[in-house]
Amino acid sequence: MQSFRTELENPVVEKDIIDLERKIRLFREGKIHDEKFRSLRLARGIYGQRQPGVQMIRIKLPFGKVTFKQILRISDISDEYASSNLHLTTRQDIQIHYVSLDRTPELWAKLQEDDVTIREACGNTVRNVTASPTAGIDPKEPFDVSPYAHATFEYFLRNPICQDMGRKFKISFSSSDEDTAYSYAHDVGLIPKLNANGERGFKVMLGGGLGAQPILASIVEDFLPEDQLIPYIESVIRVFDRYGERTNRNKARLKYLIQKFGLDEVLRLVKEERTANKVKTYKINTDAIAQPVLPETVTYPAVELSNPLRYEQWLATNVFEQKQKGFYGVYVKVTVGDISTADARKMVDVLRPLVADEIRITQNQGLLLKYVKKEALPALYEGLNSLNMAAPGFDSVADVTTCPGTDTCNLGISNSMTMARVLENLIFNEYEDFIYNREIKIKISGCMNSCGQHGLAHIGLHGSSLKAGTRVLPSVQVMLGGGTVGDGVGRAAERVVKVPAKRATLVIRALLDDYKANSIPDELFHNYYDRQGKDYFYKLLKPLADLTTLTEEEFIDWGHEETFATAIGVGECAGVVIDLVATLLYESDEKMGWANASYENKAWADAIYHAYSVFVSSAKALLLDKGVNSSTQAGIIKEFDAQYVATGEFAIEGGGTFTDLILQINKNEPSEEFATIYLAQAAAFLNASKEKREELVKS
């Protein structure tokens, strides 16, 4: 590959990019194992696509905030390196597709020029920190959570405690009790609160997650003071890193650790870990997020509306008054989350004179515009309408959320993007009154993993397959009754029936017709679903599951012309475990280098955690030589004592156990004195491990 070098203002980022280039070269030369390299590139936002030889790049945008300049930068990069498309995600990121691996360092450097990163957008890391898009302008918010989300993003980016966990870790901030950032479905979910003295804090939800087995988070703090936010999350992550599953990725999320240990024991471990935290309190800089630059336009020319009725619908469904009187927030419905780069540029031209220079990506793959004057709304509508971006019904029944499915994802089983478009057209054409219903959500995923959020939908569909005789056809699992209740309470959707994918339109018709006919006036969908019961809906939809009436068309998936065939690749939602002794010892050397560098920079807590990782990697390497493969760091520590120390095969310097040696980390404050001692012990242990390895190889 051609060598690439860059000069950036941020030397940390420059080092990151140069390191990525070097490791791509080593991978191409066969000097880094492919599985290890996969873990490395995922942590840098580089995700293998369904199509061989190209990558999806996930661009990390904390709490979905993006400026005009950044959108234009990302559009330029998508034109130069990708497919001239921007895909908005349910975690408020932007993804671009069909990128060559060798060009990713150069791409990253160009993104960084406008303060945009891909670092830790994928992999076993703290993923993008999400927040309610309305944060800062929400009339119902106790205070703006944006600076808190930003501080959380900054604190954990490149933080040693979360660079190589067993699985991903997700954090959300809702702006109010309406919980529009789904706190109940996150590892850590946060809802802002004011106590009786007017002091700021958060209600804390712990251990939620979607995926194939949705588990709702538990309320663990009714009011966590704001200065305890970062230390609390740090303690949780430290516990997750040490005790979380690392072999069976299907059981490797925090929610399963809580299932295994029990909530009380996890909370006890979290409290115990506070000693080792880098900080005991952390004051949030509430001025860190600059107020958006407002448009300079003060007078607006009269606009002749092309469709007055549609404009009134748009006003009713996509526009709301901000807490800042005289200004309006405007939602933009983006079909399946895709915006071409050409339209993105035209959109910025439309927006500049009319809205503030700050856009928020929404969790349902749309956009939120801020600080729009009432007099500017007609011109904004017409400008968006010229780009086919003024559809009414934002976040309504007619606004279907979807993941990319089989279009680009390795795990996709059946199509979701075309299905979403078909269902939206169905609702606009046959059920137009439902564009005003923002209570019922339809969400689609291409597989069971819930990237399209089907697990928290009132009507959820996920891709699957059915067998009819000797043939296989695309299908959808219908799930009902999920969604947000409020203030940290949510519902997981229930599996009801599986039907051929091409009958999804019939499923939606049956459900909406029944709701219109049999719901009580003003009855919420959750109440209607509970009153009728799951069996009622199974019987309602069961005729659609009849495979004796299949047509040839139903063997062809949405958006395809060929007969359906299941073709699931290796999922890359997180890195995989590497069980290679040499690789682990190589990692230990690298981590020791990071520990020493942090020590030189007087970052004592970081140095200590890197040293802790040296102990773990080295111990795991020697255990693998005995055929022992523990699935957690805690298990590695215990097994090393049993297999090596107790047998006298490996002597810990100064005597004692490996457990006592390594777990000094959570018994001592992260001081210079302790860092000096602990790093020396880690270096000695690494050297002894290498010597032991040489003995084993020779024998």
pLDDT digits (tens, 9 = 90+) for 107-131: 999 999 999 999 999 999 999 999 9
C-alpha to C-alpha distance for 571 and 581, rounded to whole angstroms:
24
Q: What percent of the chain has pLDDT over 70?
A: 96
**pLDDT level of residue 8 (50, 70, 90 thresholds):** low
pLDDT, tens only, 634-660: 999 999 999 999 999 999 988 899 999
The residue among 326, 353, 385 that closes a domain is 385
Residues 587 and 549 in one domain: no
214 occurs within a structural domain: yes
489 SS3 class = strand
Would you state the structure tokens that stand for residue 538, as one six-digit string?
Answer: 């199974």
The mean pLDDT value for 2-28 works out to 79
Residues 487 and 417 in one domain: yes
Buried b (16+ CB within 10 A) or exposed e, 202-234: bbbbbbbbbbebbbbbbbbbebbebbbbbbbbb
- C-alpha count within 13 angstroms, C-beta hemisphere, residue 181: 36
Name every residue whose Cβ is closer than 8 Å to that of residue 98 and which is 6 or more positions away in sequence: 49, 51, 54, 82, 83
Q: What is the rounded end-to-end Cα distance, in angstroms, of the chain?
A: 40
394 occurs within a structural domain: no
pLDDT at 410: 74
pLDDT, tens only, 253-275: 999 999 999 999 999 999 999 99
| CATH assignment of the domain containing 224 | 3.30.413.10
Q: Greater confidence, 600 or 415?
A: 600
Nearest to 499 by CA among 543, 439, 540, 435: 543
The mean pLDDT value for 680-687 works out to 97
pLDDT, tens only, 119-167: 999 999 999 999 999 999 999 999 999 999 999 999 999 999 999 899 9
| CATH assignment of the domain containing 592 | 1.20.120.330
Residues 90 and 20 in one domain: yes
Q: What is the dihedral of CA 21, 27, 30, 36, to 10 degrees?
A: 140
Which segment of 296-300, 327-331, 387-391, 554-558 scores lowest on mean pLDDT?
296-300
* Phi, psi torsion values for 78, nearest 5 degrees: -65, -35
pLDDT at 699: 61
* Phi, psi torsion values for 478, nearest 5 degrees: -90, 125
Q: Greater confidence, 407 or 390?
A: 390
pTM of this structure: 0.93
297 occurs within a structural domain: no
Cβ count near 562 (within 10 Å): 8
* Phi, psi torsion values for 439, nearest 5 degrees: -90, -40
Residue 578 has pLDDT above 50, yes or no: no
Q: Greater confidence, 60 or 407?
A: 60
Residue-range definition of the domain harbouring residue 446: 401-555
89 occurs within a structural domain: yes
C-alpha to C-alpha distance for 557 and 549, rounded to whole angstroms:
17
Residues 547 and 407 in one domain: yes
Residue 16 has pLDDT above 70, yes or no: yes
563 occurs within a structural domain: no
Q: How many domains does the chain have?
A: 5
DSSP E strand boundaries for 5-101: 46-48, 55-59, 65-66, 85-88, 94-99
Residue 6 has pLDDT above 80, yes or no: no
Residues 666 and 548 in one domain: no
**Beta strands 471-480 and 494-500: pairing type?**
antiparallel
Whole-number mean pLDDT of the chain?
A: 93
pLDDT, tens only, 452-462: 999 999 999 99
pLDDT at 281: 97
DSSP E strand boundaries for 327-458: 327-332, 338-340, 359-361, 367-373, 401-402, 442-445
pLDDT at 20: 92
248 SS3 class = coil
Residues 527 and 641 in one domain: no
Helix and strand numbers (H, E) in the chain are 20, 22
**pLDDT level of residue 367 (50, 70, 90 thresholds):** very high
Contact at 8 Å (CB) between 166 and 183? no
| CATH assignment of the domain containing 316 | 3.30.70.3340
Which segment of 9-23, 196-210, 226-240, 648-662 scores lowest on mean pLDDT?
9-23
C-alpha to C-alpha distance for 581 and 343, rounded to whole angstroms:
50
369 occurs within a structural domain: yes
300 occurs within a structural domain: no
pLDDT at 566: 65
C-alpha to C-alpha distance for 110 and 68, rounded to whole angstroms:
16
**Beta strands 171-173 and 130-131: pairing type?**
parallel
C-alpha to C-alpha distance for 278 and 606, rounded to whole angstroms:
8
485 occurs within a structural domain: yes
Residue 1 has pLDDT above 60, yes or no: no
pLDDT, tens only, 63-109: 999 999 999 999 999 999 999 999 999 999 999 999 999 999 999 99
Residues 429 and 547 in one domain: yes
Residues 613 and 513 in one domain: no
Residues 134 and 269 in one domain: yes
Relative orientation angle of helices 672-698 and 604-625, to the nearest 10 degrees: 20
pLDDT at 2: 46
Tell me the range of 30-44, 203-217, 552-566 where mean pLDDT is highest.
203-217
C-alpha to C-alpha distance for 177 and 489, rounded to whole angstroms:
10
Residues 411 and 537 in one domain: yes
60 SS3 class = strand
Would you state the structure tokens that stand for residue 280, as one six-digit string?
Answer: 């005991």
pLDDT at 29: 87
The residue among 356, 385, 414 that closes a domain is 385
Contact at 8 Å (CB) between 501 and 193? no
The mean pLDDT value for 409-420 works out to 87
Residues 177 and 98 in one domain: no
Nearest to 206 by CA among 242, 160, 169, 260: 169
| CATH assignment of the domain containing 45 | 3.90.480.20
pLDDT at 576: 37
DSSP 6: -
The residue among 540, 555, 570 that closes a domain is 555
Q: Greater confidence, 611 or 250?
A: 611
pLDDT, tens only, 484-530: 999 999 999 999 999 999 999 999 999 999 999 999 999 999 999 99
C-alpha to C-alpha distance for 10 and 222, rounded to whole angstroms:
39
C-alpha to C-alpha distance for 332 and 443, rounded to whole angstroms:
18
Residues 381 and 504 in one domain: no
